[in-house]
């Protein structure tokens, strides 16, 4: 019994408790439970359903040129769709074009030197025209700034004259009929004193002037604005008989001479087709002697526009040249307008 008390005292001292001998051990009162703390009501988040992924094929838009026409109730009544063409409605009305755009087709620099010279005259006109008989200071040739003496200008109708020299004659290649003489332009002159002889002053010269050269009234120059391409009102069958300005190869914007003029119904602005003359060949295969020789068809080679007319010949400007053009090629009225 004493041993238990001693053990109890030792344990109490070991654990820091004071327990008297013969007393019951002290038991502390339990602590009161903590007061509950008010907490806010927590509302759970709404449940969101995950989106359903659906694979869809999106057709790319068609290009504008391949735009599909609208669907109609009766497609059989319509023409098959044409995806390569856009429809444009055109109504009859007056259409106005700028005159400058039309005149751009006619190069003024190509025809300007030939509007007043050279000239084409008949034999009698050359014989009756005044001519130069001499120069001051006994010179042999004259140029611009020189006075000249001219035979028989008694009743002048103008003060402006052109000096010409007889050039080559023009003939119809088929009938050999004489059509006129080419008059080569030499100079321009102004009348200073009428009489026999009359005195004139050379104001502009292109070539040297000699004794015997003829004078004619200076022609009125026609402006480029007066040229409007048109089809001839009559059927024309002509020949290309010469080319001006010393050109050997005939091409676009060259000036040529044809054997039809005012007397044949040609007018300024008439457009004609040029046909390359077909060659004559010998058929080496045929056994028929009468059919050995034949002529190939004429081929369309270009187009010309008449810009100056005389009595029996005319000057034309080559507007188009698709093939080589030669002297004696055919010139005809076009079958339809190509300009």
Range of the domain at 154: 113-221
Tokens 């238990």 map to which residue? 4
Region 192-202: mean pLDDT is: 95
Cα 131 from Cα 146, distance rounded (Å): 16
Q: Quick one: DSSP state of residue 298?
A: P
Per-residue pLDDT band for 211 (boundaries 50, 70, 90) equals very high
Q: Which of 221, 256, 287 lies at the terminal end of a domain, its last residue?
A: 221
> Do 238 and 316 sit in the same domain of this protein?
yes
> Do 117 and 203 sit in the same domain of this protein?
yes
State phi, psi for 226 to the nearest 5 degrees.
Answer: -85, 0
Query: 293-321: per-residue pLDDT in tens?
Result: 888 999 999 999 999 999 999 999 999 99
Q: Quick one: DSSP state of residue 225?
A: G
Per-residue pLDDT band for 71 (boundaries 50, 70, 90) equals low
Q: Which of 221, 247, 269 lies at the terminal end of a domain, its last residue?
A: 221
Q: Confirm whether 97 is domain-assigned.
A: no
> Do 322 and 229 sit in the same domain of this protein?
yes
Name the token pair of 95.
């259409």
Closest CA to 277 of 235, 241, 231: 241
Q: Confirm whether 79 is domain-assigned.
A: no
Q: Confirm whether 287 is domain-assigned.
A: yes
Region 143-167: mean pLDDT is: 93
Cα 18 from Cα 16, distance rounded (Å): 7
One-character DSSP codes across 28-44: PPPPPPPPPPP-PPPPP
Q: Residue 132: which CATH number?
A: 2.40.10
> Do 183 and 159 sit in the same domain of this protein?
yes
Q: Which of 188, 203, 221 lies at the terminal end of a domain, its last residue?
A: 221
**Beta strands 132-134 and 147-150, pairing class:** antiparallel
Cα 305 from Cα 231, distance rounded (Å): 10
Per-residue pLDDT band for 100 (boundaries 50, 70, 90) equals very low
Cα 81 from Cα 59, distance rounded (Å): 21
Which residues have a Cβ under 8 Å from the Cβ of 261 and sit 6 or more positions away?
A: 309, 310, 311, 312, 313, 314
Distant-in-sequence contacts of 135-142, Cβ < 8 A, 24+ apart: 135/211, 140/210, 141/208, 141/209, 141/210, 142/202, 142/205, 142/208, 142/209
Which residues have a Cβ under 8 Å from the Cβ of 294 and sit 6 or more positions away?
A: 280, 281, 283
Helix spans in 219-277 (H): none
Q: Residue 308: which CATH number?
A: 2.40.10.410
Highest mean pLDDT, choosing among 86-100, 214-228, 251-265: 251-265
Q: Confirm whether 56 is domain-assigned.
A: no
Query: What 3-state class would DSSP assign to 315?
Result: strand
> Do 316 and 238 sit in the same domain of this protein?
yes
> Do 128 and 194 sit in the same domain of this protein?
yes
Name the token pair of 268.
């300024």
One-character DSSP codes across 111-160: HGGGSSSSEEE-HHHHHHS-BEEE-GGG-S-B-TT-EEEES-B-S-S-SE
Total domain count, the chain: 2
Cα 304 from Cα 315, distance rounded (Å): 10
Q: How far is CA 77 from CA 69, 83, 85, in A?
A: 14, 18, 19
Region 31-48: mean pLDDT is: 61
> Do 231 and 313 sit in the same domain of this protein?
yes
């Amino acid at each position: 019994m004493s041993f238990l008390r001693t053990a109890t005292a030792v344990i109490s001292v070991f654990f820091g408790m004071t327990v008297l001998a013969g007393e019951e051990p002290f038991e502390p009162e339990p602590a009161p439970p903590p007061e509950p703390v008010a907490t806010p009501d927590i509302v759970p988040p709404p449940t969101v359903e995950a989106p359903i992924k659906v694979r869809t094929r999106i057709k790319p838009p068609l290009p504008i040129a391949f735009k599909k026409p609208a669907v109609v109730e009766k497609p059989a009544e319509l023409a098959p769709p044409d995806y390569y063409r856009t429809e444009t409605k055109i109504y009859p009305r007056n259409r106005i074009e700028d005159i400058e755009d039309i005149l751009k087709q006619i190069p003024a620099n190509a025809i300007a030197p030939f509007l007043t010279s050279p000239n084409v005259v008949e034999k009698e006109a050359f014989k009756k025209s005044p001519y130069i008989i001499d120069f001051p200071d006994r010179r042999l040739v004259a140029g611009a700034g020189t006075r000249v003496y001219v035979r028989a200008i008694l009743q002048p109708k103008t003060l402006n004259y052109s000096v010409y020299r007889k050039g080559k004659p023009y003939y119809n290649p088929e009938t050999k009929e004489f059509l006129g003489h080419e008059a080569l332009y030499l100079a321009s002159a102004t009348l200073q004193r009428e009489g026999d002889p009359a005195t004139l002053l050379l104001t502009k010269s292109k070539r040297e002037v000699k004794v015997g050269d003829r004078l004619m009234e200076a022609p009125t120059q026609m402006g480029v604005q007066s040229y409007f391409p048109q089809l001839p009102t009559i059927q024309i069958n002509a020949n290309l008989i010469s080319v001006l300005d010393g050109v050997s190869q005939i091409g676009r914007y060259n000036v040529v001479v044809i054997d039809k003029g005012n007397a044949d119904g040609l007018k300024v602005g008439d457009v004609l087709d040029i046909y390359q003359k077909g060659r004559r060949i010998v058929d080496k295969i045929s056994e028929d002697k009468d059919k050995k020789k034949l002529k190939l068809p004429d081929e369309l080679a270009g187009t010309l526009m008449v810009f100056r007319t005389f009595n029996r010949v005319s000057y034309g400007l080559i507007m188009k040249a698709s093939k080589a053009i030669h002297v004696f090629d055919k010139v005809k009225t076009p079958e339809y307008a190509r300009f």
